[in-house]
Amino acid sequence: MPERIEPCLALLKARPPKGDNWVYEIKWDGYRLAVHIEPRGVRVLTRSGLDWTHRFPLIEAAAKALPVSTAIVDGEAVVLDERGRSDFGLLQQSLGGRGGKKRSSNAVFMAFDLLYFDGHDLRKSELDVRRHLLEDLVPAGGQGDIRLSEEIEADGDQLLASACEHDLEGIIAKRRDAPYRFGRLGDWVKIKCVQSDSFVIVGYERSTVARAGIGRLLLSARKGKTLVYVGGVGTGFNERNAYELRERLDRLITSTPAAVVDRKGAIFVKPKLIAEIEYRAWTEDGKLRHASYKGLREEQDNADVYDLE
């Protein structure tokens, strides 16, 4: 049984792919995890291989109760709001914020793939085969702490429209006949209702009226090995996360900007914090349009910072 499996990642596309060879799921907004079930116990690993078993005790307990001796289940830890939608901010709160040490008492695991099962490595098997075995292990319609991310038979465009109408993040399309392969190879495709990506915080602007005195966060994307300023965000903060964020920012203040930022009065910080930002589009000069702050990502978990091609 592999100690760890590098995850298959979804390639971002503007429209859903067409054809009978594609199946769809809802896109979940949380932390990608792999749940390893072994005779010696359960391990809950993050995308980069960190052991976060202690942070998801309910998922660990639910995994121990599954009727299998060895398995690796791929999925996403999420916290659902009152309408059943995954909410990244609620998940962060349940874990005590970025860098927090809390154990989540309300995260559930949405299982969407089965990579290893009772001594058999399934990575070379087609998705349809893996899903059939997964659905036997985690039946559809369950309301426990491990749930099945159900496949939806539908027209991709209609499903995307419905997802957006219900304020979901988007959908995922997967090739039925594809094996499980590491990286963004196009076997899985994500289509978003609203763009949401991770950016490095390189500074902020003070405000005399905004919460915690943060008027705007200054954001950068990666371009090769350098950081490029892509604008700022001044909305999406609440009372709690604004003050926690200001404390973290003030500990990182530096006189050396990590990116070229032409903003008078900007306070620069070391590029250690990664923010998840929702936005509508890009301006012609390469800045985010209608951006809103969603929360902080975990830097040590290799959060995907937006890459300017």
Neighbouring-strand partners of residue 307: 222
CB neighbours (10 Å) of residue 69?
11
Helix (H) or strand (E) holding 244: helix 239-250
12 and 192 Cβ atoms separated by less than 8 Å: yes
Taking CA atoms, 20 is separated from 3, 24, 153, in Å, by: 35, 11, 10
- Which residues touch 65 (CB under 8 Å, ≥6 apart)? none
SS3 151: coil
27 tagged catalytic: yes
Q: Which residue has the tokens 């006949």?
A: 177
What number of residues does the chain have?
Answer: 309
- The number of CA neighbours under 13 Å toward the Cβ of 124 is 2
Q: Which amino acid is at 58?
A: L
Which sign, positive or negative, has the C-alpha torsion 302, 179, 28, 138?
Answer: negative
The residue from 27, 174, 192, 294 that is catalytic is: 27
Among 243, 238, 240, 254, residue whose Cα is nearest residue 201: 254
Q: Which amino acid is at 241?
A: N
Q: Which residues are catalytic?
A: 27
